Amino acid sequence: MKKLKVLFVCIHNSARSQMAEAFLKKYGGEKFDVKSAGLEPGVLNPLVVRVMKEEGIDISGNGTKSVFEMFKNGELFKYVITVCDATKAEKCPIFPGVNKRLHWGFDDPSSLEGTEEEKIVRIRLIKEEIKQKIQHWIKEMEGE
């Protein structure tokens, strides 16, 4: 069976798209070839790295990647899923040459305010939202 190529995209590839990629790799098994990228690649959010480690997933070695580099390299994906928070007017990128585009809006961990512990609590909630969405989507895909 040919793997479905999936790309998760957000602004900096520092948090949401990284979490989504990690969860699809963990729960999707061999069915998916998954990557993540950003419009303006930044630095991995250390609090997101910490929260994912609590989940038993180490993303600390992941680099952030440019969606434009992937496009220039001719990479094609069956699904491109943006995970930007459209309610905060983030510019969700568009990736040309895609069979299916989906948008799943999640709050941006890098825009959270408060103490480190308050941010960690909120990032855990965002992580759970992303994990549940991934698990639900995998079930949907199995039905197709």
| Catalytic residue selected from 27, 62, 66, 92 | 92
| Catalytic residue selected from 4, 10, 34, 123 | 10
| Catalytic residue selected from 84, 126, 130, 134 | 84
Is 92 an active-site residue? yes
Is 112 an active-site residue? no
Residues 6 or more apart whose CB falls under 8 angstroms from that of 11 comprise 38, 39, 40, 84, 90, 91, 93, 108
Helices assigned H by DSSP within the chain: 16-28, 46-54, 67-72, 116-143
Q: Please choose, from the candidates 133, 140, 99, the residue with its C-alpha nearest in 3D space to the C-alpha of residue 21.
A: 133
Task: List active site positions.
Answer: 10, 84, 92
